[in-house]
């Protein structure tokens, strides 16, 4: 099934966040290629011309890098945990009741200490 343009953008954004979280675990080549592709929105042709390698080599590097990022996330869940924390912070910010805010802050602190 083909993804909509909006879904493609959201997926690239998610992959970019994964790169920011787990990029240090990639090889320098994979990190550089994926940074160029996601962060600078360069095409495979632009990256391959810049580096003097084939488009196939760049494509392979990017696909392996994304696969590695997905693997790291499947084991560590740091992206997902970040989303949960973000939701909890938004909930705190929306609360008008000071007692409820305090309870939410306490729960957030407990979640952070306990590892969500």
Same domain? For 67 and 17 the reply is yes
Rounded to two decimals, the pTM is 0.86
What are the structure tokens assigned to 42, written together?
């360069």
116: pLDDT strictly greater than 90: no
Same domain? For 85 and 34 the reply is no
CATH number of domain containing 66? 1.10.10.10
- H or E segment to which residue 74 belongs: helix 55-76
Task: Specify the DSSP class assigned to residue 4.
Answer: P
- Per-residue pLDDT tens for 22-79? 999 999 999 999 999 999 999 999 999 999 999 999 999 999 999 999 999 999 999 9
Cα angle: 45, vertex 46, 48; to 5 degrees: 65
- Per-residue pLDDT tens for 65-96? 999 999 999 999 999 999 999 999 999 999 99
Residue 88 structural domain: 79-114
Contact yes or no for 72/25 (Cβ under 8 A): yes
Q: How far is CA 94 from the centre of its chain?
A: 25
Q: How far is CA 71 from the centre of its chain?
A: 12
């Amino acid at each position: 099934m083909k993804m909509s343009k909006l879904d493609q953008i959201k997926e690239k954004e998610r992959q970019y966040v994964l790169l920011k979280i787990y990029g240090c675990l990639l090889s320098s080549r994979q990190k550089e290629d994926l940074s160029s592709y996601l962060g600078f929105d360069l095409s495979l042709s632009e990256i391959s011309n810049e580096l003097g390698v084939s488009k196939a080599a760049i494509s392979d590097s990017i696909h392996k890098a994304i696969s590695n990022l997905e693997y790291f996330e499947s084991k560590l869940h740091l992206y997902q945990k970040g989303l949960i924390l973000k939701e909890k912070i938004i909930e705190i910010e929306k609360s008008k009741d000071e007692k409820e805010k305090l309870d939410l802050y306490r729960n957030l602190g407990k979640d952070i200490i306990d590892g969500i």
